[in-house]
């Protein structure tokens, strides 16, 4: 399927969606802004601690460190839930799945440990490849790019199973996928120059198109059957 066909079908799917992709994206954006505001307060707090007077207050340093760690943990968990939830919703839009709902945004809570494990494992593998050189790290990122879609479509699959299936699916498709992502560069710039407002359209458009690409390259049969510690 051509890029033009993938994008055209994404636009049609968004128009036909029972649950507005724009409202779902706005909800996602609001939650993201809330975290940004909290991060802003932490940055201000850190600046106060760096002040010569406040620096001697060990209780302030301890409180800030604990708060920052708690925030990072909460942010990692919530961002993972939202990432998987949004991908799940976009896949349903692409598939014209009538069961789509706003609740899809938080649907990954039921397999949260697997989702966290998948994010950590993909990050670890990508970083390890990046240590060799930048290019292998980029290739690794594209190699694992379909793993989230694989898991949201079938949460019963294990972490390593999703990664291996993604690697298999992306054989011969990495450059094609890179060009597909690159084709959205002007849309991304539009989102930036409009202070994020255009992302209400651009973000779902991009992700539904990527969901269409996943559907186009995924095999009709399951290749891997394995059990892991995340099952």
Model pLDDT for residues 157-196, shown as the tens digit of each residue: 999 999 999 999 999 999 999 999 999 999 999 999 998 8
Distance (Å, whole) CA 97 – CA 16 = 10
d(CA 90, CA 209): 9
Which pLDDT value is given to residue 204?
A: 97
pLDDT at 64: 86
* Residue among 64, 36, 24, 26 nearest 48 (CA): 64
User: What does each C-alpha distance from 14 to 11, 18, 24, 165, 185 come to in angstroms?
Assistant: 5, 9, 12, 27, 20
Residue 54 has pLDDT above 60, yes or no: no
| Helices 199-217 and 174-182, packing angle to 10 deg | 160
Contact 74/136 with Cβ under 8 angstroms?
no
Each residue of 95-108: pLDDT tens digit?
999 999 999 999 99
Mean pLDDT of the chain: 90
Cα–Cα distance, 230 to 122 (Å, whole number): 14
Record the pTM. Answer: 0.88
Contact 201, 22 (CB under 8 A): yes
């Amino acid at each position: 399927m051509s890029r033009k066909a993938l994008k055209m079908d994404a636009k049609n799917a968004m128009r036909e969606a029972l649950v507005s992709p724009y409202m779902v994206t706005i909800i996602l954006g609001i939650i993201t802004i809330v975290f940004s505001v909290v991060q802003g307060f932490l940055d201000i707090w850190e600046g106060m601690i760096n002040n010569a007077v406040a620096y001697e207050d060990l209780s302030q340093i301890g409180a800030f460190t604990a708060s920052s760690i708690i925030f990072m943990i909460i942010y990692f968990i919530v961002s993972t839930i939202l990432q998987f939830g949004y991908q799940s919703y976009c896949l349903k839009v692409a598939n014209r799945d009538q069961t789509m709902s706003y609740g899809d945004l938080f649907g990954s809570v039921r397999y949260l440990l697997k989702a966290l494990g998948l994010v950590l494992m993909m990050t670890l593998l990508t970083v390890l490849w990046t240590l060799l050189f930048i290019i292998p790290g980029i290739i690794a990122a594209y190699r694992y790019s379909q793993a989230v879609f694989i898991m949201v479509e079938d949460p019963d699959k294990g972490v390593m199973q999703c990664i291996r299936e993604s690697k298999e699916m992306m054989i011969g498709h990495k450059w094609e996928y890179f060009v597909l992502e690159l084709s959205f560069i002007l849309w991304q710039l539009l989102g930036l120059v409009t202070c994020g407002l255009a992302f209400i359209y651009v973000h779902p458009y991009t992700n539904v198109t990527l969901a269409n690409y996943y559907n186009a390259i995924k095999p009709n049969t399951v290749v891997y059957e394995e059990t892991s510690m995340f099952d």
